[in-house]
């Protein structure tokens, strides 16, 4: 990075801090701090949803999966696309709740302070791990941009992580949600720049390197990209990695995301709770998330451009995580216009726009559902805001410590995105069914925590013999597909990069293992042999199985020829030992005689969907019938509120609520199933028109992605 790049980054930090100081003067009470006085319109609500939903790890994640899996790698982030139409419905829920936290919702709906406190604890654990992954990601991905692993002899992450945390603390802790939303607006613009900036410059670089800049324009870069990269990299559901993202896996990811996303703690604010009205809530949440989906399209195209341009990079042969950083350095750096600094600022914006909202929502939960509920019920507004600020500071500091001390960032991220399973069923069922009660919810939360998180760790410790029992150490068959095709320029460059990376490793075995197997070798246009290997995945152990006697051995199951492709199927032999957690959610299938031998890794993951989605719902429904009902009058009051539309004027809204509370039965005509315990409301024209329109936009975005990827094919 040059001096002008550092000036751009410094200016970005100064603006963020100034906004925090300005917003601090507008905070008078908890609603101002946690919800910005519920005065946000469509623009701020849109960029709040966009910023909070876009993490720094996502562009890099798509860059990596695009590098390894081609266009199909976009689903590592685009899996949320078909969840977006549901936001048109859920945004109304969050606004009608009229709460400051989702913990408040659990307290009111289930008449239980302890459930609010339990949800607050869940939120802290969730955000400690989730934010730590973003902070760690920034430190790692900034290395190629900065051009150094150390600054003044200090490892880069020990400079960047505390620095980013300090800026978030200053503007977020001081200014609350108002500061977060205004900075999200600015940072959202930066994220959009991040998503498109490399595309035109990258295409032009392809023309300069491999075309004729005198007679060709940057759009000719698309044709050059297709000439240099094999056609199998441009398939949306299959790719060079033997199809990492087949359709059934995408469907499974979408359903799991839909079930869990609604209880992520920040949705009470960015999901619509901080908007002026239901209309602003809906438009903000849906448009903000569609903006993110469009940005994901940009990330995917950038990854393909990088593959065509940088296939010969030894650094990327070693670690594809650096795709984004190296692309920015190689494409934007020579221009010396401060664009590398802008790219780094954009990446930091992606992290900080999420971190500020998460911090404020978490501090609201601790303040309202633990401090006010159990420690100081009579605290003044000023005292509660002060506690919130100190709590927010502690959360960011805690996430920073986790980021600096925990080694397995990806494992932290996986844990964070799976945690919402614990509270998902109580939320969905509680929204629609009166019979669900506090006792049944506590049973369900306990079951989900034990079944999905505690027992998989404890069982191997209690019964070590399971790890070597042949019934539980089976794997899927190993499938080796061999085909031939002409070598592309990217194939040639990738092999050259691999050779250079192996030389740079200087015999270090860990680095050599990280680089991986030798890619196909051949001259441009020469027939090369492509070997695609899949399967051989442990069925019941999270981290796989290891051969007890050293290297794994295999026996041939079948060998078939399908056109130009040879398919060899093999099965592991000999004693094995399971490693990691015991997959209880897969064990259920064994009792029904399910044969896992020929399933793919993606199908194996997809099979977790029924247990993770259905079991908590089943436990909650059964437990609800076996436990006492909640207080009927309080339930009447709650569901009357959820049937009462929000008026933008707070005084009128309060009057409407009081009228609804006086006679909740007057709103029963809005129920889809009158005289039942199901509280599903009749859809209004605005509900189904908006939902269908959102579904249509999903297919438009997929169409745009496919169209862009096929330009120049």
CA distances from 557 to 86, 106, 476, 480, 536 (A): 45, 54, 12, 12, 13
45: CB partners within 8 A, 6+ apart: 181, 270, 272, 274, 275, 280, 281, 283, 284, 285, 288
CA–CA gap between residue 369 and residue 110 (Å, rounded): 14
Which among 128, 162, 130, 158 is positioned nearest to 143, based on CA atoms? 158
3-state secondary structure of 482: strand
Which among 315, 331, 640 is positioned nearest to 504, based on CA atoms? 315
The predicted pLDDT at position 36 comes to 47
CA–CA gap between residue 310 and residue 317 (Å, rounded): 10
Instruction: To the nearest 10°, report the CA torsion of 22, 23, 25, 28.
Output: 180
509: CB partners within 8 A, 6+ apart: none
Pairing, β 553-562 against β 565-573: antiparallel
Q: Specify the DSSP class assigned to residue 508.
A: -
Per the DSSP assignment, residues forming a β-bridge with 31 are none
- Cβ atoms < 10 Å from Cβ of 594: 12
CA–CA gap between residue 51 and residue 308 (Å, rounded): 30
Q: Kindly report the backbone phi and psi dihedral angles of residue 539, in degrees, each rounded to the nearest multiple of 5, phi listed first.
A: -90, -40
Per the DSSP assignment, residues forming a β-bridge with 528 are 485
Q: Are 139 and 399 in contact (CB under 8 A)?
A: no
Q: H helices then E strands: how many in the chain?
A: 31, 8
Tokens linked to 408: 């397995």
Which among 157, 120, 136, 112 is positioned nearest to 55, based on CA atoms? 136
Q: pTM for this one?
A: 0.82
Q: Kindly report the backbone phi and psi dihedral angles of residue 155, in degrees, each rounded to the nearest multiple of 5, phi listed first.
A: -55, 140
331: CB partners within 8 A, 6+ apart: 198, 201, 202, 205, 309
Q: Are 250 and 342 in contact (CB under 8 A)?
A: no
Q: Which runs of consecutive H residues, i.e. helices, occur in 111-173? A: 113-146, 157-168
CA distances from 228 to 215, 292, 494, 713 (A): 19, 29, 11, 11
Residue the block writes with tokens 């398919």 = 567
- Cβ atoms < 10 Å from Cβ of 666: 12
Residue the block writes with tokens 């064990």 = 587
Q: Specify the DSSP class assigned to residue 538.
A: B
CA–CA gap between residue 573 and residue 575 (Å, rounded): 7
- Mean pLDDT, consecutive 10-residue stretches, the chain (713 aa), reads 78 74 59 50 65 68 83 84 91 89 92 93 82 72 68 76 76 58 69 79 90 86 90 77 64 82 82 78 87 88 89 81 80 78 73 71 84 86 78 81 65 66 94 95 96 92 92 90 85 86 81 80 86 86 88 91 86 91 88 80 79 91 95 94 91 93 90 91 93 95 92 83
Write out the DSSP string of 377-393.
TT--HHHHHHHHHHHHH
The predicted pLDDT at position 457 comes to 92
336: CB partners within 8 A, 6+ apart: 2, 4
């Amino acid at each position: 990075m040059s001096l002008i790049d550092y000036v751009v980054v410094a200016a970005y930090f100064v603006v963020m801090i100034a906004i925090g100081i300005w917003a601090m003067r507008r905070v008078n009470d908890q609603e101002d701090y946690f919800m910005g006085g519920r005065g946000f319109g469509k623009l701020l609500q849109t960029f709040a949803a966009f910023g909070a939903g876009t993490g720094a790890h996502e562009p890099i994640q798509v860059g990596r999966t695009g590098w390894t899996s081609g266009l199909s790698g976009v689903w590592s982030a685009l899996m949320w696309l078909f969840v977006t139409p549901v936001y048109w419905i859920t945004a109304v829920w969050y606004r009608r709740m009229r709460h400051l936290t989702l913990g408040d919702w659990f307290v009111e709906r289930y008449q239980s302070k302890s459930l609010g406190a339990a949800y607050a604890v869940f939120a802290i654990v969730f955000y400690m791990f989730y934010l730590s992954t973003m902070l760690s990601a920034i430190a790692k991905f900034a290395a190629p941009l900065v051009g150094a692993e150390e600054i003044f002899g200090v490892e880069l992450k020990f400079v960047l992580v505390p620095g980013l945390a300090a800026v978030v603390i200053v503007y977020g802790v001081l200014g609350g949600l108002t500061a977060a939303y205004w900075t999200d607006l600015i940072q959202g613009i930066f994220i959009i720049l991040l998503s498109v900036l490399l595309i035109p410059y990258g295409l032009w670089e392809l023309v300069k390197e491999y075309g004729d800049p005198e007679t060709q324009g940057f759009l000719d870069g698309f044709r050059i990209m297709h000439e240099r990269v094999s056609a199998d990299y441009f398939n949306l559901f299959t790719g060079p990695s033997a199809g990492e993202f087949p359709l059934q896996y995408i469907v499974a990811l979408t359903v799991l995301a839909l079930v869990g996303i609604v209880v992520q703690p920040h949705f009470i604010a960015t999901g619509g709770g901080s908007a002026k009205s239901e209309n602003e809530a809906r438009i903000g949440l849906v448009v903000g998330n569609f903006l993110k989906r469009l940005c994901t399209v940009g990330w995917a195209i950038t990854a393909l451009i990088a593959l065509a341009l940088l296939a010969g990079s030894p650094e990327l042969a070693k670690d594809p995580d650096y795709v984004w950083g190296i692309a920015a350095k190689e494409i934007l750096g020579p221009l010396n216009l401060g664009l590398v600094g802008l790219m780094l600022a954009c990446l930091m914006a992606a992290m900080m726009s999420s971190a500020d909202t998460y911090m404020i929502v978490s501090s609201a939960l601790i303040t309202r559902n633990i401090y006010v509920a159990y420690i100081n019920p009579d605290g003044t507004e000023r005292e509660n805001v002060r506690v919130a600020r100190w709590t927010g500071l502690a959360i960011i500091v805690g996430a920073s410590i986790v980021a600096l001390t925990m080694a397995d960032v990806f494992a932290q991220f996986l844990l964070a995105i799976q945690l919402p399973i614990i509270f998902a069923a109580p939320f969905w069922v509680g929204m629609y069914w009166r019979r669900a009660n506090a006792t049944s919810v506590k049973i369900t939360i306990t079951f989900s925590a034990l079944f999905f998180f505690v027992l998989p760790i404890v069982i191997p410790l209690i019964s070590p013999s399971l790890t070597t029992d042949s019934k539980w150490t089976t794997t899927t068959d190993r499938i080796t597909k061999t085909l031939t095709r002409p070598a592309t320029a990217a194939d040639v460059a990738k092999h050259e990069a691999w050779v250079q990376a192996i030389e740079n490793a200087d015999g270090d075995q860990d680095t050599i293992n990280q680089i991986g197997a030798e890619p196909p070798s051949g001259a441009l246009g020469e027939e090369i042999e492509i070997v695609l290997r899949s399967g051989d995945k442990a069925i019941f152990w999270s981290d796989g199985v290891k051969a007890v006697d050293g290297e794994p051995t295999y026996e041939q199951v079948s060998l078939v020829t399908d056109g130009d492709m040879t398919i060899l199927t093999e099965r592991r032999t000999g004693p094995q030992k399971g490693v990691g957690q015991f997959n209880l959610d897969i064990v259920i299938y064994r009792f029904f005689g399910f044969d896992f031998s020929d399933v793919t890794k993606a199908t194996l993951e997809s099979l977790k969907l029924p247990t993770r989605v259905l079991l908590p719902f089943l436990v909650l429904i059964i437990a609800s019938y076996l436990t006492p009902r909640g207080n009927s009058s309080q339930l009447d009051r709650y569901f009357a509120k959820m049937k009462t539309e929000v008026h933008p004027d707070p005084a009128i809204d309060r009057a409407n609520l009081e009228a609804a509370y006086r006679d909740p039965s007057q709103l029963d005509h809005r129920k889809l199933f009158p005289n039942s315990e199901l509280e599903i409301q009749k859809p209004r024209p605005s509900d189904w028109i908006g939902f269908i329109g959102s579904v249509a936009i999903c297919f438009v975005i997929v169409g745009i992605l496919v169209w862009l990827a096929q330009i120049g094919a």
